[in-house]
Amino acid sequence: MDNIITKLENIGVPVKDDDRIENDLMKHIGAPGRGIKFWVFVLLIVILIGAFAYYRQLRYGLIVTAMRDYTSWGIYISNFVFFVAVSLVGSLVSSILRLSKATWAIPLNRISEIIAVAAIICASVTIIIDMGRPDRFFNIFIYGRIQSPIIWDVIIIGTYLVISLLLLFVSLLPDIAACRDKLRDIPKWQRRFYTYFAFNWKNKPVQFESLKKITAILGIMVIPVAFAIHTITSWLFATTWRPGWDSTNLGPYFVSGAFMVGTAIIIVAMYFIRKYLKLNEYITDRHFDNMSKLLVLLSLVYLYFNINEYLGPSFKMVGVEGEHITELFLGSYAPLYWFVQIVGLILPIIILVITPLRKPLPALIVSFLVIIGAWLKRFLIVIPSLQHPYLPIQDVDESYLHYNPTWEEWAITAATFAGALLIVTILIKIFPVLPIWEIKEERKAYKPEFK
Amino acid sequence: MNTIKFCMFLACLAVFISLKAQAENIPATIEIKLSEEDGKKNITATAYESAGDSISGNPIPEIDLYFYVERSFSLLPIGDVFNTTDENGEVTVEFPADLPGDTAGNVRIIVKIQDSDTYMNTEVAKTINWGIPLNSIKTGNGRSLWAAGANAPITLLLLVNSLIAAAWGLIFFILFKIYKISKM
Amino acid sequence: MEKHNSSLSERRNFLKLFAAGGIGAIALKNILSFFNVKFESGEKITALTPDGKLVSVLKSQVETHVHHPVTQKVAREGIPGKKFVLVVDLARCRNARKCIEACEEHHHLTPDRPFIKVLKVQDNPRSSPYWMPKKCFQCDNPPCVKVCPVGATFKRSDNIVLIDNERCIGCRFCMAACPYSARVFNWGEPKPVENYHEPYSPETSVPSRKGTVEKCDFCPDMLRENKLPPCITSCPNGVLFFGNALEDSVTNGSETFRLSKLLRDKAGYRYMDDLGTQPNVYYLPPVDRLFPFKEGDQPNS
């Protein structure tokens, strides 16, 4: 008996009764405390500063950025690629891990879905921010050319956003119903909100059966869509005639990198959610251990694609492609490049391979390194390539030769991050952050007598 | 610096030459005959001095005639570098067999006396269907990746639309299922 | 609305006047040539051609061009019966930069976003560098047109790739896609064009607009009137040859060659042809040069 209890606790299925689980997982919902108010306030300030920067950009044009001809895409595009990468995490945890019957990951389903939704929304916003004429956004629908990879991207982002929302919403249904039925000290609007979005959920077995079917369909369908969204994003680069982008490896390279950074983001989210919502019994050290192992595995895959991406060109050193590689390896981008490759990729593998270090705090620090590395990696993918066109850059103003983002670009980028965090915060605040009904189900599956 | 001086010298020379040419310009006329023999298309031009009102004066020997075919932006020279008339004032130039004309194959042939020391600048033109007829350019692009959205390749359209149909078909199926759940 | 109408009718009247004047001039010229009278008006400018010939050009031919915009629909189709090509004779260029100036004036550009660049290129360390004038290559397999999400840039039947800056959304994908860096962007508010009241047409590309892409367009509004683009006629060394490939003829304003013969005899090539973009700009190799290479005042080269 002891044995089985330890086992259940290890995988995050506490041996508690249903009421206590519900209580534990819903206790954070309700009137916001001081901490969260302050946190939201800070986020709003960052967003406001970004909004002011964007106002300046709208008024004066993209001249307020450091982008110019040649470096015609900047940190907006690298930030966009980063957010698209992050959004893949939803499919990783709630689909790939679910389909591979990794039941320990069940408590992470909702976190990953929430992050996916927030990231994909912010990716869409970022790409609109990058437009020179956002007022003509609807031209995309009026004059859309199916031949353009941007249109493929618009289609796939729309599709992925809807699927991610459905994935999040469907698995929320029983928990929204629980909020509606169990929460007492909440304002009237919130109760009405739950009543409306619970969609008349009555915990009927037929409803559960139907729900599981839907989740299964969505879980399978989200995988090709998730692969497609990041592969198509990589094609925005691979379909151009640019040294450094002209690679058939770019799709899997982007997708593997995305899964890696997604895992790191989940670890960070797990750490803070467990800390601030006091869910140590549900998000256990075992989760950090498993996610760390997963991070090592995905980092190794990414390392493999990195070697593929850089070995060929650096061996051949073809013309401008060679200059681009030299610039990365030994030139002005070398410090950034080696920081990303060593601190953001190799070091995490080394650290997390060591069993005693697969604990919450070291995992958190390593995950931060991975996230910073991943963001900078997208910078290195976008900008140096643009600065190495086939024809030499001559006869231009000094400002065309370098790219140092302006405060407006940094402010807007920071605002997109704040926006993503705000979406995550709000969703966590109004919904149970761990899937209550799935945890209860899992508990029953382990110990039938609890039924 | 020397180059500039040299250019200025040349410019002065040119002005001098052109003034000289304008000073002694005797009116002239050119007659052209177009003939085809053994698949060769020949342009025979004869230069005459214009005598008063009549166009047939004495033939002009030893004068360079310039043969051109009219193109959009300029006149394309044909024949040799110098086409000098014989004692009868006549010179023959072969029309290049592979020169394109308009859609009907028409070309406008122009023969000129130009920058001559003694004769006035003169030109005469004739249109004939000696050119290779231009194949009528098909209007509207074919289907291609660089064509307008309406002319996207069929395979691409089929692929993208079937993928969209599959994904959104499933999405609508799921929305319907969710609706059904609410009615259970 | 009324104002709009009045300006429209004004324009119509102007066009009528212009047409009438043009017809009158042609008629007059024909009558005069019938009487075999030398008809030349205005000043003449003497120019030195690269092969040492002196030619007289009417000053009226050098005057700045008045834009005649065509409608959007017409602008998308291209001029029938034409396939425009450009041949650049690298042996003649000495970076005089007159083409850049003429282009700037014609398109109302500012120096920070030139449509033409003259690059210093050195093929290998042992060969002498040469000046390479470069503008849009008007490719037949245009990467920029392929990637445009809204069809703001398009390929016409006369080889020209144009941009409609009223449709462009400013995503700059075309700039990333172009391997020849031919495109420029209006990062800020472009210099306003004074005293210009013609409606916008992709063929004139005036006025420029903030947040949209621009590039060399072979000046289709001039080509419609069988006039050479200003860069061709302004070149003091006759480097640039322009013409209709269907007529197999190119001219730099003073000399005219058969395109096929010129490319065959002088080993004409297309820059980076192996990219498969099928450019419509040809280069003649920099052999037997007219000028020795001299370093210009190029910043940041």
pLDDT along chain B (184 residues), means of 10: 59 58 71 88 88 69 91 92 88 91 90 87 90 70 85 94 95 94 86
Mean pLDDT over each residue of chain C, to the nearest integer:
82
Would you tell me which residues 82-101 of chain C have a C-beta closer than 8 angstroms to some C-beta of chain A?
none
Q: Can you tell me whether residue A447 is helix, strand or coil? A: coil
* pLDDT attached to residue A258: 96
Of the listed ranges A5-9, A139-143, A319-323, the one predicted with least confidence: A5-9
pLDDT over 70 percentage in chain B: 80
Of the listed ranges A265-279, B10-24, C153-167, the one predicted with least confidence: B10-24
> Is C36 within 8 Å of B148 when comparing Cβ atoms?
no
Which residues does chain A have within 8 Å of residue B178's beta carbon, measured at their own beta carbons? 166, 169-170, 173, 199, 214
> Is A148 within 8 Å of C146 when comparing Cβ atoms?
yes
Q: Is the pLDDT of residue C65 over 80?
A: no
Instruction: Tell me the average pLDDT across A305-327.
Output: 93
Question: Which residues have a Cβ under 8 Å from the Cβ of A286 and sit 6 or more positions away?
Answer: A10, A11, A12, A104
Which residues does chain A have within 8 Å of residue C184's beta carbon, measured at their own beta carbons? 69
Instruction: Tell me the average pLDDT across C194-200.
Output: 86
In the DSSP assignment, the letter for residue C203 is: T
pLDDT over 70 percentage in chain A: 95
Which residues does chain C have within 8 Å of residue A133's beta carbon, measured at their own beta carbons? 168-170, 211-212
| Residue of A139, A145, A173 to mutate, testing the B interface (most B Cβ within 10 Å of its Cβ) | A145
Give the other-Cβ count within 10 Å of B17's Cβ: 13
* pLDDT attached to residue C5: 44
Of the listed ranges A337-341, A412-416, A444-448, B55-59, the one predicted with least confidence: A444-448
Q: How many CB pairs under 8 A join A and C?
A: 151
- Going by pLDDT thresholds of 50, 70 and 90, the confidence category of residue A281 is confident
Q: Can you tell me whether residue B127 is helix, strand or coil? A: strand
Contacting partners of chain C (3+ CB pairs under 8 A): A, B
| Residue of B5, B9, B20, B72 to mutate, testing the C interface (most C Cβ within 10 Å of its Cβ) | B72
Q: What is the DSSP string of A33-76?
A: -HHHHHHHHHHHHHHHHHHHHHHHHHHH-GGGSS--SSS-S-HH
- Nearest CA-CA distance, residue A40 and chain C, Å: 32
In the DSSP assignment, the letter for residue B54 is: B
> Rounded to whole angstroms, how far apart are CA atoms A409 and A425?
24
> Is B181 within 8 Å of A207 when comparing Cβ atoms?
yes
User: Comparing A101 with A234, which gets the higher pLDDT?
Assistant: A234
* pLDDT attached to residue A232: 96
- Going by pLDDT thresholds of 50, 70 and 90, the confidence category of residue C192 is confident
Q: Kindly list the distances between the CA atom of residue C220 and the CA atoms of A429, C120, C285, in Å, as whole numbers in the listed order.
A: 60, 28, 27
* pLDDT attached to residue B52: 61
> Is A143 within 8 Å of B152 when comparing Cβ atoms?
no
Q: From C170, which residue of chain A is nearest by alpha-carbon distance? A: A132
Mean pLDDT over each residue of chain A, to the nearest integer:
91
- Nearest CA-CA distance, residue C138 and chain B, Å: 12
Q: How many CA atoms lie within 13 A of C301 on its CB side?
A: 15
Q: How many CA atoms lie within 13 A of C163 on its CB side?
A: 29
* pLDDT attached to residue C1: 39
Instruction: Tell me the average pLDDT across C75-92.
Output: 93
What would the pLDDT profile of C218-248 be if each residue is shown by its tens digit? 999 999 999 999 999 999 999 999 999 999 9
- Going by pLDDT thresholds of 50, 70 and 90, the confidence category of residue C209 is very high
User: Contact at 8 Å (CB) between B89 and B54?
Assistant: no
User: Contact at 8 Å (CB) between A391 and C119?
Assistant: yes
> Is A149 within 8 Å of C147 when comparing Cβ atoms?
yes
Which residues does chain C have within 8 Å of residue B73's beta carbon, measured at their own beta carbons? 226-228, 242-244, 249, 251
User: Contact at 8 Å (CB) between C212 and C183?
Assistant: no
Q: Hey, what amino acid is at A274?
A: R
What would the pLDDT profile of A251-264 be if each residue is shown by its tens digit? 999 999 999 999 99
> Is A155 within 8 Å of B164 when comparing Cβ atoms?
yes
- Going by pLDDT thresholds of 50, 70 and 90, the confidence category of residue A125 is very high
* pLDDT attached to residue A16: 63
- Going by pLDDT thresholds of 50, 70 and 90, the confidence category of residue A98 is confident
* pLDDT attached to residue C196: 85
The dihedral region occupied by A439, where left means phi > 0, alpha psi between -120 and 50, and beta the remainder, is: alpha
Q: Is the pLDDT of residue A450 over 60?
A: no
C195 CB near a chain B CB, below 8 Å?
A: no
Q: Is the pLDDT of residue C18 over 50?
A: no
Q: Can you tell me whether residue A236 is helix, strand or coil? A: helix
User: Contact at 8 Å (CB) between C220 and C163?
Assistant: no
> Rounded to whole angstroms, how far apart are CA atoms B36 and B44?
11
Q: In terms of Cα–Cα distance, which of A360, A450, A436 is closest to A106?
A: A436
> Is A173 within 8 Å of B168 when comparing Cβ atoms?
no
Of the listed ranges A92-96, A167-171, C24-28, the one predicted with least confidence: C24-28
> Is A166 within 8 Å of B171 when comparing Cβ atoms?
yes
User: Contact at 8 Å (CB) between A174 and A437?
Assistant: yes
- Nearest CA-CA distance, residue C145 and chain A, Å: 9
C6 CB near a chain B CB, below 8 Å?
A: no
> Is B10 within 8 Å of C48 when comparing Cβ atoms?
yes
Distance between first and last Cα of chain A: 17
> Is B120 within 8 Å of C145 when comparing Cβ atoms?
no
Of the listed ranges A12-16, C272-276, C293-297, the one predicted with least confidence: A12-16
> Is C46 within 8 Å of B141 when comparing Cβ atoms?
no
What would the pLDDT profile of C165-191 be if each residue is shown by its tens digit? 999 999 999 999 999 999 999 999 998
What would the pLDDT profile of A184-213 be if each residue is shown by its tens digit? 888 889 999 999 999 889 989 999 999 999
User: Contact at 8 Å (CB) between B60 and B89?
Assistant: yes
- Going by pLDDT thresholds of 50, 70 and 90, the confidence category of residue A159 is very high
CA angle C146, C150, C152 (to 5 degrees): 80
- Going by pLDDT thresholds of 50, 70 and 90, the confidence category of residue C31 is very low
Q: What is the DSSP string of A369-418?
A: HHHHHHHHHHHHHHHHHHT--SS---S--GGGT-----HHHHHHHHHHHH
C244 CB near a chain B CB, below 8 Å?
A: yes
* pLDDT attached to residue C260: 95
B159 CB near a chain A CB, below 8 Å?
A: no
